[in-house]
Amino acid sequence: MSGAAGSTEKAHRNLPRLVNEHRALLMLVALCTYLGAFAPNFLSIHNLTTILKGASLNAIAAIGFTLILILGQLDLSIGAVVMLCGMLVIGLQPSLGWAGAFAASLGAGALGGLAGCENTTTPQATGGGSGEGGLLAPGDILDGEDGENWARSNLLLDTVEDMELIGPRVTPTDLLVRLFHEEGPRVFDAQSVHFGCSCSSERVRESLSIYSAKDIRHMTTEAGIVTADCQFCGAHYEFDPSELGTGAERPGD
C-alpha cells in the first residue's frame, strides 16, 4: 500500500511538469476538440486534407531546420529558399508541367542550400569573451581609436575617489570637468521632466471628421453623444454627433 501511495504522490508531482512540457500539444487537442464539436465539417476528410496540405510546407521547412540545428549550425536562408522554390514552381509549370517544375525547383533549392553552407554560422555560447570569467572585454567589441578612448576613460574614472561621488564638495559638473577637461565638455542646463500629451478636443474632432454621418450614428451612444478616450494619457472626450463627420456643424458656425 505504501508503494502505491508513493507512486500516486510522485505522479501528482510530475503532472505540472508534464503539462508544461506538452502544453502546445494539449492546446492543439483542445482546439481540435472544440472545433470538432461546434463546426460540423471540421473533422471531414476534405477539411482535414486541406489543413494537412497547408501545414505541409511548414512541416518540411521545420524538418530541414531541425536537421541543421542538430548539426550545431544556424541557417537563416531557409525561408528565402522556400519562397524561391515556390516561385519557380508557379513560373515554370506552364512550360515544363508539374513534374518538370518540381524537378527544377528541387534543383534550385539544392543549389541554394549548398550556397547557404558558406553562410551558416555556429552559435556561440556565452562565456567566449577574453574578459574575466569568459565575459566580453572592451577589446572584443572596440578596436582602434574607439578602443583607446574607452581605455583612457576607464583610467580617468579609476582616479575618482568614493567621497567625490557621494560628497557635497564636488558637484557632478566639477567632477566631469576635472576628468575630461581636455575634451572640452559642455554641460547643458537641467530641464524638468513632466508628463504631457498632445491630444486635445480639436485633434480628436479632426480625426473623426473623415467619417460619414452613418458611421457617426453607429458611434453614438444611448446617451446621444460620441465618446473618445486617449490611449496615452487617458483623457476622456465627449462630442455632440452633429459636430462630427463630413458636413458637420462646427461650434460657432
* Residue 134: band (very low, low, confident or very high) from pLDDT cuts 50, 70, 90: low
Q: Let me know if 105 is exposed, middle or buried by CB neighbors in 10 A (0-12, 13-18, 19+).
A: buried
- 153-189 pLDDT per residue, tens: 888 888 888 777 776 777 878 888 888 888 888 888 8
Say yes or no: 150 and 229 in one domain.
no
**For the chain, what is the mean pLDDT?**
79
CA 248 to CA 244: how far, in whole Å? 5
Please name which of 112, 102, 45 lies closest in space to residue 76, comparing C-alpha atoms: 112
pLDDT the model gives residue 145? 81
Ranges of H-type helices in 22-141: 23-38, 45-70, 78-116, 138-141
- 149-163 pLDDT per residue, tens: 888 888 888 888 877
pLDDT the model gives residue 21? 83
Q: Is residue 251 part of a domain?
A: no
Give me the number of domains the chain comprises: 3
Q: Are 245 and 211 in contact (CB under 8 A)?
A: yes
pLDDT the model gives residue 60? 82
pLDDT the model gives residue 217? 86
* Residue 61: band (very low, low, confident or very high) from pLDDT cuts 50, 70, 90: confident
Say yes or no: 177 and 235 in one domain.
no
Residue 189 CB neighbours (<10 A):
4
pLDDT the model gives residue 112? 76
- Tracing cell 558637484 back to the chain, one arrives at 171
Q: Is residue 89 part of a domain?
A: yes
Q: Is residue 179 part of a domain?
A: yes
Range of the structural domain that residue 214 is part of: 201-243
Say yes or no: 177 and 207 in one domain.
no
Own/partner pairs, 235-239, CB within 8 angstroms, 24+ separation: 235/197, 235/199, 237/201, 237/204, 239/201, 239/204, 239/205, 239/208
Residue 143: is its pLDDT beyond 80? Answer: no
- 194-222 pLDDT per residue, tens: 778 888 888 888 888 888 888 888 888 88
- Tracing cell 481540435 back to the chain, one arrives at 32
- 2-41 pLDDT per residue, tens: 555 556 666 666 777 888 888 888 898 898 888 888 887 8
Residue 237: is its pLDDT beyond 80? Answer: yes
Residue 250: is its pLDDT beyond 70? Answer: no
Say yes or no: 15 and 89 in one domain.
yes
pLDDT the model gives residue 4? 55
Residue 242 CB neighbours (<10 A):
14
Please name which of 205, 202, 194 lies closest in space to residue 244, comparing C-alpha atoms: 205
